[in-house]
Amino acid sequence: MSTLLWIVVLPLLASIFVTAARQWQRSYLALAVAAFPALALLLLLPSAAAIFSGEVLRYQVQWLPLIGLNFSLHLDGLSFLFSLLILCIGLLVILYARYYLSAQDSMARFYAFLMLFMFAMLGVVLSGNLLQMWFFWELTSISSFLLISFWSQQGDARKGARMALTVTAAGGLALLAGIVLLGQITGSYELSVVLTQTEQLQQHAAYPVVLALVLLGAFTKSAQFPFHFWLPNAMAAPTPVSAYLHSATMVKAGIFLLARLYPLLSGTELWFLAVTLAGLTTLLVGAYFALFQHDLKGLLAYSTISHLGLITLLLGLDTDLAAVAAIFHVINHAIFKASLFMAAGIIDHETGSRDMRKINGLWKYMPVTATLAMVASASMAGVPLLNGFLSKEMFFTQTLHQGVLGSLSWLIPLLATVAAIFAVAYSARFIHDVFFNGEPIGLSKTPHEPPRYMRVPMEILVALCVLVGVFPQWFIGDLLSQAAVAVLGSAAPEYSLALWHGLNIPLLMSVLALAGGIVLYINRKHLFVFQAGFAEQPAIYRFENVLQRFVQRCRSLTAAIDNGRYQRFAGLMLVLVLWLCGAPLLELASLQGNRPALPLDMLVLAGAAILCIAAIATVLTIRQRLLSLVMISVVGLMVSLAFVRFSAPDLALTQLSVEVVTVVLLMLALYFLPHKSVKQSSPGHLVRDLALATGVGVVIGSLAFAMLTQQTDTISDYFLQNAKTGGGGTNVVNVILVDFRGFDTLGEITVLGIAALGIFKMLTGIPRFMSGADGEGRRWALDSHPLLLAVVSQALLPLALLVSVYIFFRGHNMPGGGFVAGLITAVAMILQYVAQGVDWVKPRLKVEYSTLISLGILCATITGLASWLFERPFLTSWFDYFDLPLVGTVELASAMAFDLGVYLTVVGSTLLILANLGKVTTRYRPVHKEQS
Amino acid sequence: MELVMAIVIGVLTSCGVLLVLRAHTFAVVLGLTMLSYAVNLFIFASGGLTAGKGAVLGVTDIYADPLPQALVLTAIVIGFAMTAFLVILAIRARAELGNDHVDGHSGSRQQQESRF
């Protein structure tokens, strides 16, 4: 079912498309954007038949099957319902936003973020893998951040966005921890597998932890108490965003998660208690505070919190039908709340204010909008004949049948009624305060009806409120029952979606709520006075305060460890090395292993002695830098000899050539750096450093000894056996580099190239600072190119190049290869610079070294890609033998082309570094383009 | 022979660490070079020491372990690139800040505070 993939990806394509179509005329842009989700909707709808007959559609692409990571999509009743909501309301919001955004706002940017969000949200509901779902979950947080801060010039938009991101992303991290634990316990991240492991999970000792972490994720996302405070502050977003993200879809993601994992996590005491209490508190807090908001959107935000609490509460009840009621209310709430937000947006748009103390009596100015808004808020209040009434009835019924609080369970229906009274009161306020209650006060413009098409989305949604309210079974019966099956994991119990269930207690509760709400609204003045007594700092400042203090705390903690001094930090890290490497050694009984030792010979002993003396001399002479440099080059040479002695000819060749370039480099560095160290470390420092150095040396030496004397199983036998037959070369080291581990080598030459380019960048535009004399005040010799060296080096060049060609070609079968050949060529070229000077070389050598690097990496990459032409994996090598007249049998291997890439990169990088460093003092010094 | 190798690695590490902890960039560069010798030898040694039996097929019947050799070979080249990067960084720092102290300033408290 790759249509599933398209449903998810289409909004992403829309997002990319919009950024390209920035210049389009606004209506065309909106139309073009809408085409993508419309297409996705067309792809989704045909699957309705399959979904309604109880099928689950899946789509999977293998990614890392060995560790159970696959890209998988999963469409069942629940995800179908949510996808439908996301796509349909999304389409309406696109249309609405076309008229809502003003000419100064970048419509393309808005749509790009909106579509990114839609992509993420579809990803959440359609994911068949928990980790993948988490990825999309975080993407919804990020796109929500971008959308809330859409008007980034406004301070409260930035603050609100930051708050929303902090809260939801922190919850997301908790969720990730929960999911990983879940995966560990159940052994899989695939939804289809995980959901069958209910018993295993619930009996596991870590179940409470998993539950807490998952709930933390869900509650932060769905703005449950005490994390609800971010939602009202997110109202700084443009209203289409509030309608879409913060009422209909994103805040429902937490609910979705609870519903998705319902079969897995629910059914325990802990679940009932935690979810019920969180839901109940949120329901009450939201409903209470909604009444006191003067901001139209603030009222709707708190009301949304309250309704989310209601849904959560339902998911926490232990009755059979509670989950069905929850899903039903998800649908209804999305419909009426989205339309109410759109109404708020229209009012804001046409009056220039959202303050309910100013906007009064709008009935006269916009009767159609007023009617629509009144129907929608009646639905919010739970007035019969509208969809909100039905789910609220169901909710009341469930509260009467549950027993989650034991003998205190009677509290829940009571408190539910109290919340419902407040819901009626704030709905009444929305209607009465805005559309009646006198005349508008101090508005900047005269209100009027919005553009015709701005109202269309609202009309559709309000029509749905009525249609679902009157013909529930006919409209959403199948949708609901299949979603319920998905949530419960089994067939839903019998229930009837009907308007009239006879005279019963739930109906009584509804009547009580309606009457109580009206009474409460009429007497609201007293309550307002009471509430005004709490002079509270807005949540946003408190939150910012906490955040700032937290950052400050972290900063001082960091400063306590890292005072900005390199020496101290390096020392601390070495102490850590000492500890981590030394502690295991203490547990080892003996360092001596069972590997037969090589007999000692005097030559090696002598070499080792020279090496150690040279190393110590390097340290001792560090204040006379040139001498120190000579000493360290002795160390390097002895290391190369060690490689020769212990059967590593390739390494010896490489080390030797690298030694040459390193010394040239350090000589050049000496020219630029001070020639003497002025400051000597204090004795205390010196003792400390000496102790640390000795300690690390002893530990590493012991470790080396333990390793050297240990008989180990090596995987190298594989390489030895297959080098000739599979890689076509007898020099196993080279075959490993260009064939077995070719991908590593490709990465390494890339790093080399990047380092060289970075160096070039650092040398570009370097200020002139060199003195004309050395440390002792002797002036630099001007005659820098001795004749003898110039002549010899010229003669040497072709010879050296020949050697490097030879080394290159024999590399596959004998010691040598691209790395060594490249270094030899580089050394030969550097010699020209040294002997003749830049002024002489520059006109004669018209090669851009950076081009050489790119060519090298390109050559190696193309060699790797070429194997795709033969339908083999990346970097599969090929070789064959040919008989040529005169020359004899010649081997041709694709590895050679790869090695050529290595060669070019090494030559290019080495020369780019050294030649440019050498050029700094000449007229060819690297400068910024704009300066030259 | 193994003991000699271990001692060499130990001495190189000690000298490298001591140099890395100095206050001047040149010493730190030398220290890192020294440490990379030590590390290369260490990785090389992880294959065990073998005398006179290079990993070229058809020459002998037993071979030295080729894998650490391949690892070290690229490490040597990359090590050069990193040393070069550090050296140039030190030169640039000297050019911009006028001294070769690892912290970019000579280290007295007042100076440090006046900079931030």
**Residue A601 CB partners (closer than 8 Å, separation 6+):** B1
pLDDT value, residue A887:
73
Res. A784 pLDDT band, cuts 50 70 90 = low
B10 touches chain A (CB under 8 A): yes
Q: Is A707 on the interface with B (CB under 8 A)?
A: yes
Of B8, B30, B81, the CB nearest to A611: B8
Q: Which B-chain residues 45-84 have CB contacts (< 8 A) with chain A?
A: 45-58, 63-67, 69-70, 72-74, 76-84
Mean pLDDT within A632-653: 92
The full DSSP string for A378-437 is: HHHHT-TTSHHHHHHHHHHHHHHH--TTGGGTTHHHHHHHHHHHHHHHHHHHHHHHHHSS
Distance of alpha carbon A88 from alpha carbon A94, whole angstroms: 10
Q: Could you tell me which residue, B111 or A854, shows the higher pLDDT? A: A854
Looking at every residue in chain B, the average pLDDT score rounds to 84
Specify the CATH number for the domain of residue B14.
1.10.287.3510
How far is the C-alpha of A228 from the C-alpha of A221, rounded, in Å?
9
SS3 A58: strand
| Minimum distance, in Å, between the CA of residue A217 and any CA atom of chain B | 40
Q: In one letter, which amino acid is A255?
A: I
Strands (E), chain B: none
Quote the Cα angle for A47-A50-A55, to 5°: 120
> Which residues fall within 8 angstroms of residue A524, CB to CB, at 6 or more apart?
A291, A425, A429
Query: A823-860 burial, b if ≥16 CB within 10 A, otherwise e?
Result: bbbbbbbbbbbbbbebeebbeeeeeebbebbbbbbebb
Please count the structural domains in chain B.
1
Contact B35, A683 (CB under 8 A): no
Domain enclosing residue B51, as ranges: 2-115
Give the pLDDT confidence score for residue A845 in this predicted structure: 84
| Residue among A381, A240, A359 nearest A294 (CA) | A359
Q: What is the CA radius of gyration of chain B?
A: 20
Those residues whose C-beta lies under 8 Å from the C-beta of residue A351, and which sit 6 or more positions away, are A358, A359, A362, A440, A443, A445, A447
Please state, in angstroms and rounded to a whole number, the distance separating the CA atoms of residues B67 and A692: 32
Confidence of residue B115 (pLDDT cuts 50, 70, 90): very low
Find where tokens 């000692």 sit: A600
Condensed to tens digits (0 to 9), the pLDDT of residues A336-354 reads 999 999 999 999 988 888 8
Closest residue to A733, CB basis, from B9, B10, B70: B70
* DSSP reduced 3-state for A734: helix
Q: B53 and A647 in contact by Cβ < 8 A?
A: yes
pTM for this predicted structure: 0.73
Beta-ladder partners of A355 = A295
Asked if pLDDT for residue A666 goes beyond 50, the answer is yes
Cβ–Cβ contact A531 with B under 8 A: no
Note whether B3 contacts A714, CB cutoff 8 Å.
no
Q: Tell me which residue of A168, A98, A160, A172 sits closest to A131, measured CA to CA.
A: A172
Tell me which chain A residue has its CA closest to the CA of residue B78: A752
C-beta neighbour count of A64 within 10 angstroms: 9
Question: Out of A123-132, A567-576, A707-716, which region has the weakest mean confidence (pLDDT)?
Answer: A707-716
Question: Which tokens hold the place of A214?
Answer: 């998952």
Q: What percent of chain A has pLDDT over 70?
A: 97
Residue of A nearest to B61 (CA): A720
Measure Cα distances from A536 to A288, A516, A531, A533, B34 in Å. 16, 28, 10, 9, 64
Q: Is A708 on the interface with B (CB under 8 A)?
A: yes
Average pLDDT, chain A: 89
Alpha-carbon span A721 to A717, nearest angstrom: 6
Q: Reduced to 3 states, what is the DSSP secondary structure of residue A786? A: coil
Segment A93-120 mean pLDDT: 93
Q: How many CB atoms lie within 10 A of CB A248?
A: 30
Distance, in Å, from the CA atom of A123 to the CA atom of A83, rounded to the nearest integer, reads 9
Contact check, Cβ <8 Å, B26/A673: yes
Concatenated DSSP letters of A80-99: HHHHHHHHHHHHHHHHHHHH
Q: How far apart are CA A839 and CA A836, in angstroms?
A: 8
A813: pLDDT strictly greater than 90: no
Query: In the predicted model, what is the mean pLDDT of residues A878-898?
Result: 81
Longest CA pairwise span in chain A (Å): 115
Residue pair A201/A182 in contact (Cβ under 8 Å)? The answer is yes
Best B36, B41, B73 member to test A by mutation, with max A CBs in 10 Å, is B73
Query: Hey, CA dihedral for A493, A499, A504, A506, is it positive or negative?
Result: positive
Half-sphere exposure of A617 (CA within 13 A, CB side): 16
- Sort strands A879-884 and A57-64 into parallel, antiparallel or unpaired: unpaired
Residue with tokens 């299949």: A482
> Residue A448, by phi and psi: left (phi above 0), alpha (psi -120 to 50) or beta?
beta
Rounded distance between C-alpha atoms, residue A426 and residue A380, angstroms = 9
- Distance between CA A248 and CA A81 in Å, rounded? 12
pLDDT grade for A930, boundaries at 50, 70 and 90:
low
Q: Which of residues 732-771 of A touch B (CB under 8 A)?
A: 732-733, 736-737, 741, 744-745, 748, 751-752, 755-756, 758-759, 762-763, 766-769
Smallest CA–CA distance, residue B77 to chain A, in Å, is 7
Q: What is the DSSP letter of A769?
A: -
Task: Name residues whose C-beta falls within 8 Å of residue A748's C-beta, 6 or more positions apart in sequence.
Answer: B74, B77, B78
* Per-residue model confidence (pLDDT) at position A679: 64
Tokens of A609: 């002695």
Q: Are A746 and A906 in contact (CB under 8 A)?
A: no
Asked if the model's pLDDT at residue A22 lies above 90, the reply is no
Average pLDDT over residues A304-329: 92
Nearest C-alpha neighbor of A95 from the set A333, A338, A257: A338
Tokens of B99: 């001294």
Judged by a CB distance cut-off of 8 A, whether residue A582 touches chain B is no
Closest approach of A898 to chain B, Cα-based (Å):
15
Q: Do B33 and A697 touch (CB under 8 A)?
A: no
Query: Contact A222/A124 with Cβ under 8 angstroms?
Result: no
**How many residue pairs bridge chain A and chain B with CB atoms within 8 Å of each other?**
307
Out of A658, A665, A704, whose CB is closest to B87? A665
- Is the Cβ of B111 closer than 8 Å to some Cβ of chain A? no
Q: What is the pLDDT of residue A781?
A: 67
Using DSSP bridges, classify how beta strands A879-884 and A69-75 pair: parallel, antiparallel or unpaired: unpaired
| Residue that is written with structure tokens 């076309």 in the block | A98
What CA–CA distances, in Å, run from A669 to B42, B78, B95?
A: 28, 19, 12
Q: What value does the mean pLDDT take over residues A744-772?
A: 86
CA–CA separation, A205 vs A344, rounded Å? 49
CA–CA min distance A692, chain B (Å)? 8
Lowest mean pLDDT among A125-134, A548-557, A852-861, A874-883: A874-883
Per the CB < 8 Å rule, is A639 touching B40?
A: yes
Find chain A residues with C-beta within 8 A of B22's C-beta: 567, 622, 677, 681
User: What would the mean pLDDT of A394-417 be, rounded to a whole number?
Assistant: 89
